[in-house]
Amino acid sequence: MDTRAKSKAESRKLKRLEANGALRPRSGQAMVEVIVGLVALIVLAAGIIQVASLTRAQTDAMVQAREAAGASAFSDVPISVYPEYIHEIEEGADERTYSNDDTFTDADASAFNSTIVNELVTGQNEWDVMDELPNSHFSSLRDALTPSTEFGLLRGDASVTVQLLPAVRSLLYRADEIEVECDVWMTWTRGIY
């Protein structure tokens, strides 16, 4: 092939490429794709880091609450906190059970006695036998006005505040911080040992 034929073939090839749009400038499309990808990676990394810090805060709050309840568990005299008898739970706006916006309907301690404690025996004569036993916890449970005190329940609570990362604060959750709360219930063990 001579050079003239070669240049005509190359010229036709260039015209076909231009017609197909292969040689047109893309005006920064690759740059926009890179930026979008980087933003997505930053949000993903910030979310992972934030979840890790929230998980650590929840663990720290749990440890602190257990320490508080554990210290009370070995005290000479139990400082009892009366847990509520919950009859029903009405979910709040977030539609999640046992969250801060729920409403609790209180139950009655006598219902606990009649539905649980009194079912321990089939007749009054069995209570007489239980009353004669030394250190009969069932008798004291039956006679208590607030049966929960007989369980020796002790409460420990703690809260930890977590600062949100700027990326999470501006893109995912509009708050400066989240407070992680934890409640732990333990039994009084000093009297056992």
Band of pLDDT at residue 160, cut at 50, 70 and 90: very high
pTM score, two decimals?
A: 0.61
% of the chain residues with pLDDT over 70:
85
User: Is the pLDDT score of 106 beyond 90?
Assistant: no
Q: What is the pLDDT of residues 34-63, one digit of tens each?
A: 999 998 998 899 999 999 999 999 999 999
Domain boundaries, the chain: 30-80+152-193, 84-151
Strand 103-106 relative to strand 153-163, pairing = unpaired
183 closest CA partner among 61, 98, 46: 61
User: Is the pLDDT score of 128 beyond 60?
Assistant: yes
Q: What is the pLDDT of residues 76-94, one digit of tens each?
A: 776 766 666 677 788 888 8
